Structure 1
Amino acid sequence: MRLSPVLTAVALTLAAGTAARAEEGMWTFDNFPIARANATLGTNIDQAWLDRVRLSSAKFGGCSAGIVSAEGLVMTNNHCVASCVANLSTQAINYAETGFTPRSREEEIKCPGGTAEILIDISDVTARMHRAGEGLSGQAFTQARDAEAGRIESEACGGDAGRRCQVVTLYRGGQFKLYTYKKYSDVRLAFAPEDRAATFGGDLDNFSFPRFAVDAAFIRLYENGAPAVTPVHFAWNASRPVEGTPVFVSGSPGSTQRLLTQDQLMTIRDVVLPMDQLLASELRGRMIRFSEESEENAFIAMDPISGVENSYKRGLGRMRALIDPAFMAGRADAEADFRRRVAANPDLATTVGDPWAALAAVQPIQRELYPAYAMLEGRSGGGSSLYSYAETLVRAAIERAKPSDQRLAEFADSRLSSVESRLMAERPVYPSLDQVRLEWWLSKTREWLTVDDPRVRALLGQESPEGLSARLVAGTTLADPAVRRALWQGGLAAVRASNDPMIQYALKVDGQARAVRADWEARVEAPTARASEQLAAARFAAYGDAVYPDATGTLRLTYGRIEGSDVPGQRWGAFTTFDGLWDRATGAAPFDVAPKLLAARDRIDGTTVLDMAVSSDTIGGSSGSPVVNAAGEIVGANFDSTVLSQRNAYGYDRNVNRSVIVTTGAVTTALRDVYGMQWLAAELGVE
């Protein structure tokens, strides 16, 4: 039965104040509703099943992945290895065009700076984190919390390079958990199809269904120079999927804002999203212009443009949700219910006070400070690799001279090894694209903060964005990993003595960026964290532990069924096939079939299911998530969702939320019948 628009909006926002229903929720593995999932789906999973799924799931960069053999083989999306493919490619040997198809394990190549992690333990540190902030406010509060998190992480992992410990904030301060990961710093590319096979339809098909994309790739985890031993892994099931089948999606969704108040959402709607969308739109235009100037530029910009377009389209979907009257009315009704429940319990109301009023009071300040914080701290450098190296070296040198508990959070002892690993990774640097990004950042900062802002004057001096970016990029030597290593090892003295113009510029502007950050932490972050902690206590009291936390980039499990959609704007069945791909192809970009895939047409069973839709609760960051059946077998990998699903950031609606999955059957076909990867297929148990 289809819900009315208002009821649909209410269903979308249940998580804002109430316990989750049906298939809703990005659940942590230590609080997964086993009984509810079994009752909803008719399955019979248990704790042992959950443990196997958790230990078979991996995080790879900003994506998710699933371990599929006992020898460290991992499946993720092709777009999740796109940066690795770009870093390993040249114009002469462009693996994005040809695909990466090694003939044996010996030809697998290390992804520069690539790391993968498996969650091996979760423990509660809530009481300790709450005590750290008692009686404090402003920046002292945030610094105390950051310092305590650093101490907990150091105590748990010490100097073990094979593990990473992270204190995770859940329920916006209601809980804190220590997540311990097994870490792999040697990750090698094992297979990637032609990019066109994975991105058929281009930006036009992005965030939509039907889809016709083989968006899958394989990496391999290595340890001590040999393939990692991974006895716990998903079994490969390439059988034809059946509509209605229950499935589970295990991944690391990036960020949701379902627990925000209405006042907080208004700030996102009125300030954050409009600014972010305008910036992304102009950056996309500049990068497209850059790519059209030469074949070399087109090669350089291919992956970055895709990332910008993806972010812009996601933001567009979220903006549509926040200006939808029915959606926002549903959110308001859910918040009103929450507040009534608190008011009906005098003791609870007295204990938690009025966190809604406290958060409302922060919003005018946040609206005022956001542009400067976004441009000078959050987006500093505009994505320029060279500027990022300089900023990291400068800040690391300054921070490492202090005791760990007095540093900026990202430079605590427990996190330094990750910072160093990213800094020293031997990735290719393209100065021409770096200048475009740096020039864009400087010009947009001047535009948003205005010419007369003293911070802009300090940023530019007497130079133009064009001239300054050109001078800094032309003069720096930070593209050389040896130069970066010498500065890292030399510490603050070496950094200050450097004559590199990018280093000297980062030193010059660091003070004002720090001031903006300190102001933000004291006047926005700290009071928001305090009030959110009170709100979380009220939520637990009102709804119990049947409430799931917002996504935080940490491992979660969601569930649903394989099924199509029948609502205005998205009416389609559950599956697409290779026959559908041939029918959709026009021969002209972006609907041109990848050459090797097209050449294999006669070898491919056209009825093989290529992609499918699933009613699971996912968001950005879920890319690459293994999709598993009730037996714990992998049947696909999540690679997208629909444009209507982008409101999922603020609430789940089963009627419109669909995750888009590439099937294991399609991947098997690609390995065996298209790219000659029989040896890899054999490792998966495929004949």
Structure 2
Amino acid sequence: MKKLVLFVVTAMLMLPASVKANEGMWFLMFLERLNHRDMQKMGLQLTADEIYSINNHSLKDAIVQFNGGCTAEMISKDGLVLTNHHCGYDKIAELSTPENNYLKDGFWAADRSKELKPKNLFVRFFVRMDDVTKRILSKVNPSMTEAEREAAINKEIALIQKENDEGGKYTVSVRPFFQGNEYYYFVYQDYTDVRLVGTPEESLGKFGGDTDNWEWPRHTADFSLFRVYADANGQPAEYSTNNVPLKPKHYLPVNIGGVKENDFAMILGYPGRTNRWMPASGIDQNVKFAYPAWVEGSKMGMDKLKVHMNQSAEVNLMYASKYASIANYWKNRQGMIDALTQFGTAKTKAAQEAKFNKWANKKENKAKYGNVVATINNYYALTNEKAKHDNYLMTLLRSSSYGTIARSLGRQLEAYANANEEKRKQMAPALAQMADEFFTEVYIPAEKDVLAGQLNLYATKATGHGIAPFVAEIGKANNNDFTAYVNAAFELSMFSSADKVKAFLLVPNQAAVTNDPLVKLSNELLNHYNAKSDEIAKAQNDYSAAFRLLVEGLRESKIATILYPDANSTLRLTYGKVRALPADKRNDAKVNNYTTMEGLVKKYKKGDAEFDLPTKILDMQKARNYGRYADKDGTLHVNFLTDNDITGGNSGSPVLNGKGELIGLAFDGNIEAMAGDVIFDPKLQRTINVDIRFVLWVIDTYAGAKHLVDEMTIVK
């Protein structure tokens, strides 16, 4: 392993007392230097090598990235994978039909032959990482534009990837950290034969719905089980009935002893994105311009979809995953607005930047750092209205399947029209299948309502930056009522049915694609979304350089003491303790760091979409049929709190005790700490976890799938 650049090591070793132990998303390769002693004091009983080792099996070998957006963990010697219900949600929905609705009714494979293979599901194992900061930064210089800098860096990244992928065996990712002041590469191995093993019904796995999302106290069985398959040699292989369960290098023992206040807890996973270096003016832009537009646009999409989802079980399945994703961000962004406003985060950052600006304009620093804050503030002032516009347009594109049709099916058909006869023969079967798949995932009446509603919202609310001229023209002619236009567009478009697309395959014509009303609209929206004036392009170039210098200067001056890099979907470890929030009358637990089965049933509302429960759950709670999964106090614990530092992407991450044993499954954060992606608050920050005993109780006692628990290593 290459040695770290000396100045980086020196800076990172100078850990100030002001950094809280539970703050930070840490690289595994630096645990020995930075964290191990602190973790031992808190209760860790493992060596750093037992957590991360290149040459020997270690804890990191049991942690996988789940389908690119969540985390999961290996929990048996036969490739059993545990993650959140909401992480497997879209795959469970995909495998469901109105006749076999696994999303609604749950699913438990009686044996391995009954496990179900969804499309395009993979898990990613972390192999190793290393520092390439010195190598990459040697290829750039301060005179480069941001585009030139990016080109030089990408050229070197391509070489690093080729040197480490072993002929395609591994996926290699080189990522920037500290806003491009450091670079590391990560080596992964992907397995694509991943099958659904078990999931509780939605009324358990998503109990509380949007109402309880991001809230505490919480009572949900947010978990699902999958299995990874490999070829006979344990290597990745496409789906085959000849594949066998993967024998992982390491899997997690499951501890059912329970947890109590101040118990050590660490979480490993793939946090998606934090922005703890974000400037004050960037926070202001999000709170006042970007996030309100995101919230309003998301709510529009949700409301339009829900009308149709409530009328048909088939349509509900079709849009369940999309709706859940939109709803999650809708509540998250509103929580961000509230938390960032309440705690004056922008003011805190502005005070830090004022201190930095004073340091930056000292004689010895001015040439390099003097204009940094002014350049950053100028960029945000110039782009506030654009941020508002872009978020209205972005939510349109996210909620409407036809917003991006020009870049998906439209682009494919245009390529088909331009191909020769022989090439078309090769392309036609795949395009016909693509059309069939697309139209199994859209319901035209719902799509019309979503598109018309979102166009109205965009045309009336995003005008500060200037909406797409094509949309403005249509809106002006129709008093911004897009219903008639959308109905006519669908009537004339080839993209209103699979049959029309297949008819095009028989008589292809490029002009028919280019002039298709839905393609034309989509192109106009996408082109306008990606367009930027010369003034904004220059400001963005200057901002990128200034932001990088801000982070470099804050670290150099020690005005900021953040020693861990922002999250960016790379494997991290966070550690802390089981930690209660202040007493809450809504929680029946003796200590407000866990919830109980009794509390779950108290929330029950018969027939309610969010709080209904299976009759069997009510009966088992009444009988207190908890078996060996009951706590010492006689109750069945459902969820519990820790003060770990996590964010989106950590969903499904294992919560581990000091021995590296599984005690819970992370799935959410508390809405009071929604500012946590920008600034960490040790008083408020909490991670909400499913107690592993509740997971096992649902699998074993409730669902009767004891054979799955039997293949785990249970520690009492």
TM class, shorter-chain normalised? 0.7 to 0.9
Work out whether 1:641 is the aligned partner of 2:648. Answer: no
Cα distance in 1, alignment partners of residues 18 and 145 from structure 2: 31
Superposed CA offset, 1:468-518 (max 9, x none): 54466664469879x89x99xxxxx99778589488437853883475168
Change (3 A) 1:584 1:19: same
Measure how far apart 1:297 and its partner are.
Answer: 3.5
In the alignment, is residue 580 of structure 1 matched against residue 599 of structure 2?
yes
Which of 583, 591, 594 is residue 611 of structure 2 equivalent to?
591
SS of 2:554's equivalent? helix
Structure 1 contact 18–334 (Cα < 8 Å) conserved: no
439, 451, 472: which is aligned to 1:438? 451
Q: Give the letter aligned to residue 559 of structure 1.
A: Y
Label 1:230 to 1:296 Cα distance change in 2 as closer, same or farther (>3 A).
Answer: same
Question: What is the CA deviation profile of residues 151-183 of structure 1, one whole-angstrom value per residue up to 9, with x for unaligned ones?
Answer: 6445543872x5322222211222222222211
SS of alignment partner, residue 582 of structure 2: strand
**C-alpha separation between the residues in 2 aligned to 1:651 and 1:247?**
21
For residue 369 of structure 1, report the CA deviation from its aligned partner. 2.7
Aligned partner letter, 1:597:
I
Q: Normalising to structure 2: TM-score of the pair? A: 0.79
Output the aligned Cα RMSD: 3.9
Equivalent residue number for residue 222 of structure 1: 229
Identify which of 384, 387, 391 aligns with 2:400: 384
Shift of residue 128, structure 1, vs aligned partner: 4.8
List gaps (5 residues or longer) in structure 2.
1-15, 53-57, 231-236, 416-430
The answer to whether the Cα contact below 8 Å between 1:585 and 1:591 also exists between their aligned partners in 2 is yes
Aligned partner of residue 531 in structure 2, secondary structure? helix
Q: Which protein is bigger by CA-based radius of gyration? A: 2
Aligned partners of 1:115 and 1:184 also within 8 Å: yes
- Secondary structure of 1:565 counterpart: coil
Aligned to 2:527: 512
Contact 1:53/1:632 (8 A) holds in 2: yes
Cα distance change on mapping 1:86 and 1:515 into 2, 3 Å: closer
CA contact (8 A) 1:460 1:468 kept: no
* Distance of 2:533 and 2:186 partners within structure 1: 27
Do structure 1's residue 170 and structure 2's residue 185 form an aligned pair? no
Change (3 A) 1:289 1:618: same
> Conserved in 2, the CA contact under 8 Å of 1:252 and 1:621?
yes
* Unaligned 5+ runs, structure 1: 1-16, 400-419, 488-492
The code of the aligned residue for 2:48 comes to Q
| Structure 1 residue 24 corresponds to structure 2 residue 37 | no
Deviation at 1:556, TM superposition (A): 1.6
CA contact (8 A) 1:381 1:438 kept: no
Report the alpha carbon displacement of residue 534 of structure 1 after superposing the two structures with TM: 1.0
Matches within 5 A, 1:28-43: 28-32=27-31, 33-35=34-36, 37-38=38-39, 41-43=42-44
The answer to whether 1:270 aligns with 2:288 is yes
Q: Are the equivalent residues in 2 in contact too, given 1:343–1:349 (CA < 8 A)?
A: yes
Name which of structure 1's ranges 203-212 and 132-141 shifts more when overlaid on structure 2: 132-141
Q: How many residues align?
A: 643
Rounded to whole Å, the distance in 1 between the matches of 2:333 and 2:283 is 14
Tell me by how many angstroms 1:527 deviates: 2.6
Q: d(CA) in 1 for partners of 2:661 and 2:163?
A: 36
- Whole-Å separation in 1 of the counterparts to 2:30 and 2:598: 42
Write the distance in 1 (CA, Å) between the matches of 2:180 and 2:314. 47
8 Å contact kept, 2:583–2:592? no
Residue 53 of structure 1 is aligned with which of 59, 79, 85? 59
Q: Which moved more, 1:517-526 or 1:208-217?
A: 517-526
The amino acid across from 1:157 in the alignment is: D
Corresponding residue for 1:234? 252
Q: How many angstroms apart in 1 are the aligned matches of 2:276 and 2:580? A: 25
- Find out whether 1:312 has 2:325 as its counterpart: no
Distance across 1 between alignment mates of 2:414 and 2:516:
18
In 2, Cα distance between the equivalents of 1:103 and 1:339?
Answer: 65
Following the alignment from structure 2 to structure 1, what is the Cα–Cα distance between the partners of residues 131 and 330? 37
Pairs within 5 Å for 1:174-253: 174-223=181-230, 224=237, 225=240, 226=243, 227-253=245-271
Question: In the alignment, is the contact (CA less than 8 A) between 2:127 and 2:188 conserved in 1?
Answer: yes
Q: Is 1:611 aligned to 2:639, yes or no?
A: yes
Tell me: CA distance 1:219–1:186, structure 2 relative to 1, closer, same or farther (3 Å). same
**Pairs within 5 Å for 1:6-405:** 20-32=19-31, 33-35=34-36, 37-38=38-39, 41-51=42-52, 52-61=58-67, 62-130=69-137, 131-132=139-140, 134-137=142-145, 139-142=147-150, 145=153, 149=157, 152-153=160-161, 156-157=164-165, 160=168, 163-223=170-230, 224=237, 225=240, 226=243, 227-324=245-342, 326-339=344-357, 347-348=364-365, 350-374=367-391, 378-379=394-395, 381-385=397-401, 387-388=403-404, 390-392=406-408
Letter matched to residue 604 of structure 1: Y
The worse-fitting range, judged by mean Cα deviation, of 537-546 and 21-30 is 537-546
Q: Which residue number corresponds to residue 526 of structure 1?
A: 541
Is the Cα contact below 8 Å between 2:292 and 2:334 reproduced in 1?
Answer: no
Structure 2 residue aligned with 1:10? none
Whole-Å separation in 1 of the counterparts to 2:120 and 2:436: 5
Q: Report the Cα offset of residue 262 of structure 1.
A: 1.2
Q: Is the 8 A contact 1:624 1:639 kept in 2?
A: yes
- Structure 2 CA distance for partners of 1:77 and 1:508, relative to 1, 3 Å: closer
**Closer, same or farther in 2 for the Cα pair 1:291/1:562, shift >3 Å?**
same
Residues 1:639 and 1:479: Cα distance change in structure 2 (over 3 Å): farther
Taking structure 1 as reference, are residues 260 and 239 closer, same or farther at Cα in structure 2, changes over 3 Å only? same
The residue identity in structure 1 corresponding to 2:176 is T
Q: 1:140 Cα shift?
A: 5.0
**2:597 is aligned with 1:550:** no
SS of aligned partner of 2:640? strand
Q: Is the alpha carbon distance of 1:393 and 1:282 closer, same or farther for their aligned partners in structure 2, counting shifts above 3 Å?
A: closer
Query: Using a 3 Å threshold, how does the CA distance of structure 1 residues 515 and 57 change in structure 2: closer, same or farther?
Result: closer
CA contact (8 A) 1:167 1:179 kept: yes
- The 2-side partners of 1:467 and 1:677 are apart by 53
> Are the aligned partners of 1:214 and 1:666 in contact in 2 as well (CA < 8 Å)?
yes
Structure 2 distance, partners of 1:134, 1:361, is 21
| Separation (CA, whole Å) in 1 of partners of 2:700 and 2:617 | 12
Tell me: CA distance 1:465–1:570, structure 2 relative to 1, closer, same or farther (3 Å). same
**CA positional deviation for 1:147:** 5.7
Q: Which amino acid aligns with 1:593?
A: L
Q: Distance in 1 between matches of 2:528 and 2:161?
A: 27
1:589-642 superposed Cα distances (whole Å, 9 cap, x missing partner): 233223453454443346122110111111222211111111111111111111
Instruction: Give CA-to-partner distance per residue, 1:396-430, whole Å, 9 cap, x none.
Output: 8999xxxxxxxxxxxxxxxxxxxx9x989968412
1:559 aligned residue (543, 551, 575): 575
User: In 1, distance between residues paired with 2:543 and 2:109?
Assistant: 51
The alpha-carbon deviation at position 129 of structure 1 amounts to 4.4
Q: Give the drift of 1:585.
A: 2.7
Hey, what's the Cα distance between the residues in 2 that align with 1:177 and 1:42?
30
Cα distance per residue 1:285-331 (max 9 Å; x no partner): 22222333444444434433332222122112211122225544444
Q: Which residue of 1 aligns with 2:421?
A: none
| Secondary structure, counterpart of 1:230 in structure 2 | coil
In the other structure, the counterpart of 2:55 is: none
Q: Distance in 1 between matches of 2:344 and 2:74?
A: 42
Per-residue deviation at 1:191? 1.0
Q: Whole-Å Cα distance in 2 between the matches of residues 251 and 332 of structure 1?
A: 32
Cα distance in structure 2, aligned partners of 1:143 and 1:510: 28
Confirm or deny: 8 A CA contact 1:19 1:546 kept in the other structure.
no
Aligned-pair CA distance for 1:246: 0.4
Ranked by relative contact order (alpha carbons within 8 Å, sequence separation 6 or more), the top structure is 1
Q: Tell me, what secondary structure is at the counterpart of 1:69?
A: coil
Q: Secondary structure at the match of 1:667?
A: helix
Q: Which has the higher helix share?
A: 1
